[in-house]
Structures are given as C-alpha cells and as structure tokens.
Structure 1
C-alpha cells in the first residue's frame, strides 16, 4: 500500500462569522489548502467533509458549490469532536486502498455561543437533571476531580494548563483569542464547574480547515515532496466495553486505545514525539491526556505541567497553537486544524511558535460518545 502525504493544508482564522454560510467558510479553507499545494479543485478525485451540527445538510456539496462542482464523490462525516479527524482519515484510507491519488479533506463548523452537551435520551430516565452529569462542563469536572482523588492533582496545576495555552496563542495569528492570562486571573475567573473556571473552558467559535492528501506517486509526479508531510499512522476507535456507571463515564479508555493503535502503526512510542496537539476542551482534559497518550506515567501529569516540559521550548511541547482553550473549538474543523498545526511545524514554517527540529508530531481529538482519533505525522 502507498504511503499518504499531506501536500497542502491551511485554516482560516477562527472567530465568529454570523453573516457567512458554512459552505463559504469551508470553501475558503479548501481554497487556501489547494493554493498551498499549488493545485485546484479540478485535480481532486474526491472530497471528504466533516461537519457535526449540520450533519444532514450535505455540507461537502455546499463547499463544492463555492469552489467548483466537478462531479467528484463527496463523503460527509459527523463524529462529535472527532468529526474533522474522521474526514481526514476517510481520505487517508481511500488513498491507502488505491482508490484515488489526490483527495481534499475539509472540516468546518459554525458554533454560535452557549453550552454544549445535555444529550437526548430516548428511553428511560435521563441522569441529566438528577445528577447533572451529561453537560460537557460536568463531564470534565468529574474527570478532573477523579484525577485529584487518585493522584492529588491540584486546582493550581489544572489552571496552569490555561496559562500555558493562552500564552502559546499569542504566537498564533489564526487563534481566536490571543491574550495572556496569568495564573491568578485564571483561578479567580468565574467558576463554571469545579475545578474548571471560565478561562479553563474551550471557546465555541466558527472555523474551517482543510488538507490535500496525495499518494506517494502523485506527490512525486507533481513535484510536491519537498514540503510533503507523511501520515505515518491513523487510528480511530470507539469505547471498549467496561462495567461501569454510564453517568460517570471512563473518559480515558478510548484515548489509550487509539494511542496504542497509532503507535503500533507508526512503529514509534511517545518518547519519539517532538510535539503534540491534543484535545484540551477543558484544562482538566489536557492533564489526563498527558497520561493517556503516554507523555508521562500515570499520576505524573501534575508534575509534568509544573515542570514546564509541555511549554514551547520544553521537552514535549503540547498545544503550541494555543489549543482549544484559546485557538477555539469548532467541532468539525478541530481535527484538521490540528493536522495543519503539526504540518506547519514539521515543515519549519510556524514562525514565532516553531518547535525547533520537529520531525514527529501527534494529533488527538476525542468526542463524547465516544470517538477518538489519533494521527502521527512525520517530516519527510
């Protein structure tokens, strides 16, 4: 089977665009990625589009109406926060299987403002309202408190995640919020669901990102290998079965399963990574994912954030983009935006936030439900 390469990728600056359509946002990101590759929509053999909120609106076709309808097949994906990563993986698999040589993957979402969560329950008693357990702030409050119970992780350690990621965002011109938030400010902000204050919650924004994938033969034929980034692994999983109370789900299992599969495919381990873009939907999530992805041993995540090793310039920089906490989290776009960030570093084109000498990067997204995607990218 052929290797698959990212030969073009880009994203729009995340923000709020109430006067635009989801198709126009996705179309803008698609054109940016195509321009980055030096190709056009006429070169693409298929489109894979991720959008979660308008899953039944055929958003991929709306994107093509903006940039050119060439008759290619369109696949629309919805997979919670892993939506964009799922679209990317579908494109990767199609090339890996020999179906196509060039495909376009787009992730796009218009989020609006307000709370996410509170899933509908068709039958029986919903735990929401009885335990207050299904909204996302409640889920990730539980995640944090369980980590504190087991390992003594402190409120201050959780808050340091936001300090770090907000600082990183000041170096990223495509982040929604580019502001420093000192530790005292993060800890004193409005409490949403302990231990996450308002400044420890991800930002609901509109956004779009895109990537052009190519087979090795196409990348060489088109002279695109000099800036190509190899997709060394692509893993997508759902929750394995466990006997547990579903009102307090095991948030760690899917990520550990996906990471193990990605490392198996890549023939690498966490010790080989140079940077990571992980799913920091809340500050507590980043802490537990340090351990889930093998960046440190179980119980050592608090020490890891204290050490500064996950900061730019540290041993394993995490969320140098600013992460979901300040770059923003448009569900359908996040997975491909992570791919863009990694690719930019592996190409040596990240400017002030460049991770020097980066050769291997890992992206991670996980959606409650659960869908978890992990990709490993490699500098050619």
Structure 2
C-alpha cells in the first residue's frame, strides 16, 4: 500500500523585489513560516530538498546552497539535497520530498524554493534564460520557433527573455490552429491581474483592462508586457509528512497529496498540440489520484505568459482543445466561474521567482483547500491541481510537473 502523504505547513515570502535580502534569508523566512504553520520544530525535519535555479550563476553559490540555508536556520544533521529543474525547480523539490516520505526514509520533510534575481545587473539576469534550452544547438531553437510561429516582420522590440519569443511563437501556432485571438489572451492577463489585487504577497496588485493590456508595450506578437511574468525575488516552503508524522504533529488542517508526477517530452510533431508534455503527465497524475479534470475545483498553472495559461488549461482537460482563450473571455476561469484558474494572480502578477514558483502554487492551493484564501476563496474547494513547467526542448517544455491535492 502506498504511504499517504500530507501537506501540513506552508510558508511564502512576499514576491517582488527584495534589495535587502539574500537568497538564504528569503528561504529562511519561508521556512520559518512553514514550520510555524505545521507546528513542527526544526528537529522534526528529516530531510530538506532545496530548489534554486539562479543562486549559482547570479551570486556564485553554485553548490551546497541548501546546506548553508538549512544550517543557518538550525536544521542540522539531516540529508539536504539541492534541486534545479528550470522553472519547475520548486515542484521538483516537492516531488522529491513526497517521494522521500513514501519511501519511508523520513516521516516529515521540507521542500524549499528560493531566488534572488534582482542583483543590480539586469543583463546578467536576463541572459540566464538562454541556458534553459539546448545551448549546444542554437540553430535548432531558431528552426523550431520558425516552425511554430512562422516568419514575422517586426522591429526590435527591446530587451526580453528568449522565452517571450518562445511563447509568442507557440501562441501564433495556436492562433493559426484554433483561431485564438490577442483579445482572448489579454482576457487571461486581465483576469490574473484582477485576482492578484486580493493577494497581499503578489508582486503586482493592479487591475488592468483588456484594452490596457493590448495597448501596452509589445514584446513579440501577440504578447505585450502585462501578459508576461516579471523578474521576481521570493521564496516558498512546504512541510510534508506521512500518516505517522501527521499523528506526531497533530496538524489540524492537512491537505492530502493525491499525485505528484513529473515527466519529460516525447518525439512528436512539434507543431501539434495533441500529445503535449503536460497532457501525458496530467493523464498519469489523474490516474494515480483516482480523479479527473471534472473533479477539479481550482487550478494554478504555469502562466509565464498569458498564452501559457490558455494552452495548459486545455492540456489539463479543464477546457476543450482550442477553448482556453474563449473560456477565459467568457469568465469560466475567473473567481466565481466554472473552474477558477490562477486565483493567486498567477506568475503574470504574483511573480515568478523561478525556483519558488512551483511551491508558491502549492501555497495558494493549500490556502484554497483549507478555506483560508480570503477574497480569493473558491467556495467549497475540495480538489486542486497545479501545473508547473520548465525549460524548452523540441517544441514544448523540457519538464512538466502535475500535482493534485485534496482537502479534508
């Protein structure tokens, strides 16, 4: 019988710009909050999985970052593992913590994700994204983007992450295939900016209209700045445990982990949406959890751009193929709609500190399933799903994580 696993504590810093904090200080802030939330002491933690994608390249701490952060807060004598999986780093740390518990190696474990991306050198930070695809074959990336998005004649639109060009090419492919419009993509962004108004930890908390979003500075057609996630500092932490750990901690509001599944892509037509990495990883997660898309009450998906939410709601089966944009425009994915998505404000507004983003999703969904999300609360939420993707390889994310949770 598979060991049941539970989320018993969550912690998250404000996401934004933290000029006065180090990576480790942000992590320790989130850890303290997660421990307090769980009722666990530092000595209760049996293992730590510490996620960061930028600490090495941006600040020089290329090794043992997790050991330093853990010892600095008084977690000693236990295994500490450093995790990097691009933008899916946080959810990968969570997956490893859950697997550690299920393997019987510990009763209580900690997953942490932390990034300090504002270091006073925007060029170094932006260049980091160029390492999240196959750097040995840059021409392959150019060919793939041309296959996806076609040739476009637009002027140099200023500094941006290569991933904005990647998402823009994927969006143009979706527009060509299904008739998705820039207005529908803007509707996703407007919804998420509206949700973030009610999230005190969000990087941006300003509502925007579809018209304002479409009129903003262009990045790469059809994307504008408010459709895209900002560069963000922040950290999040999650305490997970077994049934035995649950008894020891006497946690009053545990959330059950029904599935945590991670996968990579398969060889396929890069311009096709059927068979996308998130689709087949989600299918495994639903099977493992014993539930389906229709059971989900709330979702957090990896909206590094508003278009990413369009495709991921389709890949998770929350809306039919091609209906991600229209569903958002109809209000189905808004608070009060049929299936609220990114009630936190998503990466577009909550922010995207790479290694912390996946755990930030879990923080939001735990609040939803506990009924403690305040103005963002989805009434009666019982089942929740998180999708977190990272990197780019052969026309899709290099890695995808799907997590399904259940409230008590």
**1:126 is matched with which residue?**
139
Partner of 1:304: 327
1:43 aligns with 2:69: no
8 A contact 2:197–2:206 mirrored in 1: yes
CA positional deviation for 1:306: 1.8
Q: How far, CA to CA, are the matches of 2:248 and 2:137 in structure 1?
A: 58
What is the CA-CA distance between 1:132 and the residue it aligns to? 7.2
- 1:91 paired residue among 62, 79, 97: 97
Q: Match of 2:402? A: 374
Q: Is the aligned partner of 1:175 residue 2:202?
A: yes
**TM-score (norm. length: structure 1):** 0.94
Matched, 1:272 2:295: yes
The answer to whether the aligner puts 1:141 opposite 2:168 as a matched pair is yes
Aligned counterpart, 2:336: 313
Find the partner of 1:255 among 278, 282, 285: 278
- Is contact 2:145–2:169 with CA below 8 Å preserved after alignment? no
How far, CA to CA, are the matches of 1:289 and 1:40 in structure 2? 38
Q: Distance in 2 between matches of 1:351 and 1:121?
A: 42
- Structure 2 length normalisation: TM-score? 0.88
Matched, 1:227 2:253: yes
The residue number in structure 1 matching 2:266 is 240
| Cα distance between partner residues in 2 of 1:183 and 1:61 | 45
Contact persistence 1:118–1:128 (CA under 8 A):
no
Secondary structure of 1:256's match? Answer: helix
* Aligned partner of residue 242 in structure 1, secondary structure: coil
Compute the RMSD of aligned alpha carbons.
2.0
Q: CA deviation at 1:155?
A: 0.7
Instruction: Indicate which of 208, 219, 227 corresponds to 1:192.
Output: 219
Alpha-carbon distance between aligned partners in 2 of 1:127 and 1:26, rounded to the nearest angstrom: 37
Q: Distance in 2 between matches of 1:240 and 1:139?
A: 19
Task: Please give the alpha-carbon distance, in whole angstroms, between the structure 2 residues aligned to 1:328 and 1:96.
Answer: 31
CA distance in 1, matches of 2:137, 2:249: 57
User: Is the 1:11–1:337 Cα contact (8 Å) retained in structure 2?
Assistant: yes
In the alignment, is the contact (CA less than 8 A) between 1:252 and 1:289 conserved in 2? Answer: no
* Structure 2 residue 29 is matched with structure 1 residue 28: yes
Does residue 1:14 correspond to 2:38, yes or no?
no
Distance 2:351 2:30 in 1: 16
1:317-356 deviation per Cα after TM superposition (whole angstroms, max 9, x unaligned): 0000000000000010001110110000100111111111
Confirm or deny: 8 A CA contact 2:235 2:356 kept in the other structure.
yes
CA distance in 1, matches of 2:346, 2:249: 33
Distance 1:266 1:203, change over 3 A: same
**1:79 pairs with 2:85:** yes
Determine the C-alpha separation between the residues in 2 that align with 1:289 and 1:339.
17
Q: Judging changes above 3 Å, is the alpha-carbon distance between structure 1 residues 336 and 124 closer, same or farther for their aligned structure 2 residues?
A: closer
Counterpart selection for 2:378 from 336, 350, 355 = 355
Q: Structure 2 stretches of 5 or more lacking a match? A: 57-61, 147-160, 393-397
